Amino acid sequence: MGLFSRRSDPEGFYTGDAPASVPGMDGAAPSAYQSQPATASPAPVDPGYGSAGPNYPPPTSPVSGYRAPPPPTPAQRPPMVFQQVVRTATPRRSRMGGWIVFAIVLAVLIPVGFTVYHAFTGLKDAVGQPSDPPAAAVGKLGVPVTVPYRYAELKVTVKSAVAQPVDGWSSGERVPDPKLVVGVTVTRTDTDTGKTSVMAWDWHFQPAEGPAVEGELITSYQPELESTPIGTGQSISGLITFDTGADAGTLTVNDPYTGDHPAARWDIVGSVPKVVTGTVGRPATGQIAGPGFTVTPAKPQWLKAGDDRLRDTPKSGSVLRMELAVTGLRNEYAGQVEATDLWFTPRGGKPIQATYPGGLSDATVLVSISDTKPTKLIVGFDVKKTPGVLELREAAGRTVIRWAIA
């Protein structure tokens, strides 16, 4: 017969079809279906890897007249152990392969995601932008000008521009680092219900010579122009600092919603700060380095040897004792004033720097300014009683305030 032939033994039991893949077996019952005497079933033995399949004897025939087939020959045994190994190992390889594929996909998707995000945000900012940005408004120092900015309308007044020879007082920078410091006031005038933040980096200064610079996000000049969101009718005021030694050029505020084109511009010539001459008993505020505090010196005291307030006997025979009240202009940190920031120059003599304790038993090392409450600073100078000049100097050595001392 052919591939689909069926076979039965003389008693009528089905003995199976001849395997199509085994030549010479068609027409006769395969030896795999010939009966063998039954034996007891020993415990199965787990073969080692790569060994032949186990030789399991057939169970006792449950049907009368049934003849169990003999065990298969080695050539007829299926590769059971190999199949078990394959079935056991395949899931492990599949899980490992799955993690590898996941890692590759993740590595590809992350940069693609960032690219799509930046493209989307750039498109978002570009939506509604005119192909030709409006001409920049032209302002003048001290005069308000209307400025379109981030879909809002602002009234901007540039009040001052100062070419500082050094960084701000609170920086403590001992090397001169010139800055251009611009004071502005911004008022929201449109009727939109949203709020707008005016960012320091949207302000730019182009010197007459040299590269353009943008407003510093963090500055030692206070109060800085904060980026607090403002609504209709609200105003903010503060300082914008530019890291440049130039004192003349063009100031612009750029609108990022029109491709960062200037929305307004001002021609700037920075003023030069001067040394402030104070009066004993009255508060004075410096211009150079923009200190955020006032200094009020009390009446000078000349102490002679033997005074209870002296720590030891002065070499010059006397000590100039100065008591100064330091008061912050705002309730925020404005730096420190140290004893070594004060100098006294006697008439016809050389400057003398105050040192701690300066011959005094009640001297102060420094004061920290963080609010509008006055803090007392006491310093002493071991010097012969002579009229002269008391000076407050910033960290780089520039005189900020001076007082005549009798």
> Domain-by-domain residue ranges, the chain?
1-27, 78-127, 137-269, 276-405
Q: Give me the pLDDT at residue 142, please.
A: 96
Q: Give me the pLDDT at residue 265, please.
A: 97
Q: Give me the pLDDT at residue 134, please.
A: 79
Q: Where are the beta strands (DSSP E) in 73-174?
A: 137-139, 145-149, 152-164
Q: Give me the pLDDT at residue 103, please.
A: 65
Q: Tell me: domain 137-269, CATH 3.30.70.2740, correct?
A: no
Mean residue pLDDT across the chain: 81
CATH label, 276-405, candidates 2.60.40.1240, 3.40.50.300, 1.10.3720.10, 1.20.1250.20? 2.60.40.1240
- Under the banding of pLDDT at 50, 70 and 90, the label for residue 120 is very low
How large a percentage of the chain has pLDDT more than 70? Answer: 68
Q: Give me the pLDDT at residue 122, please.
A: 46
User: What would the mean pLDDT of 224-238 be, rounded to a whole number?
Assistant: 94
* Residue pLDDT, tens place only, 134-152: 789 999 999 999 999 999 9
Question: Token digits for 198?
Answer: 């005016």
Higher pLDDT: 297 or 132? It is 297
* Residue pLDDT, tens place only, 158-210: 999 999 999 999 998 899 999 999 999 999 999 998 999 999 999 999 999 89
Output Rg (C-alpha) for the chain, integer angstroms: 47
Rounded Cα gap, residues 124 and 151, in angstroms: 13
Q: Does residue 298 contact residue 405 with C-beta atoms inside 8 Å?
A: no
* Residue pLDDT, tens place only, 270-291: 999 999 999 999 999 999 999 9
Q: Does residue 67 contact residue 34 with C-beta atoms inside 8 Å?
A: yes
Q: Give me the pLDDT at residue 34, please.
A: 47
pLDDT of 83 strictly over 70: no
Q: Give me the pLDDT at residue 172, please.
A: 87
Nearest Cα neighbor of 292 from 402, 399, 178, 371 is 371
Nearest Cα neighbor of 383 from 323, 307, 315 is 315
How many C-beta atoms lie closer than 10 Å to residue 133's C-beta? 17
Which strand (E) or helix (H) includes residue 88? helix 80-126
Rounded Cα gap, residues 13 and 27, in angstroms: 16
CATH topology agreement for domains 137-269 and 276-405: yes
Higher pLDDT: 96 or 314? It is 314
Q: Give me the pLDDT at residue 104, please.
A: 72
Rounded Cα gap, residues 393 and 399, in angstroms: 4
The DSSP annotation for 27-72 comes to TS--GGGS-------PPP--PPTTPPPP-PPPPPPSSTT--PPPPP
